[in-house]
Amino acid sequence: MPKLSHYDSAGRASMVDVSPKKPTKRVAEASAFVEMSRAVLKALPQNKKGDPLEVARFAGISAAKRTAELIPMCHTVPLTHVEVAANVCENGVAITSRVSTMGQTGVEMEALVAASVAALTVYDMCKALDKGIAIREVVLEKKTGGKSGDYVRTASSRSSNGRSASNKKTSPSRKK
């Protein structure tokens, strides 16, 4: 297999050539958290702009489909499924996304963009009530498929400052 390069012959950054890769089922899950006061949470159902959770869900799905337009070196990936959920918790809104494809490259960026845009949408729809709303912990939770194997975020992958300290990778299963 030819070496995949991030630079063209003139030394400029370029998209990775994924043409030698075989299409496989690839799935990625991401999450984000929108921290807000109880007063804002209580006001969610009466939002003048509409239901922030449903609008955020739709915005996340739409964003996943446009990831390559937002991130310069990202491939356009034919998505086979996008799911976004926004659930009210005690101190905010938990956003989750799950994106699938049958392709030559993964969908981690699509899942992260979906969760991020859904969180930004909640913020946008609630900012009139409180500018102190915070978007926290936009993270890749899980990915499957592809040459690099599977990844699952674990509780021990967080350091005390909330940054990732280590990752749990597993090799893809190989038939013998």
| Cα angle value 7/70/132 (rounded, 5°) | 125
For helices 108-126 and 52-64, the axis angle rounded to 10 degrees is: 150
**Does 124 participate in catalysis according to the annotation?**
yes
Burial class of residue 121 (count of CB atoms within 10 Å of its CB; 0-12, 13-18, 19+): buried
Give all strands (DSSP E) within the chain, no chain letters: 24-35, 79-89, 92-103, 134-144, 150-152, 168-170
- Exactly one of 8, 17, 51, 124 is catalytic; name it: 124
Residue 104 in contact with residue 22, Cβ under 8 Å? yes
- For the chain, where are the alpha helices, taking DSSP H only? 38-43, 52-64, 67-70, 108-126
Q: Which positions are annotated as active-site residues?
A: 124
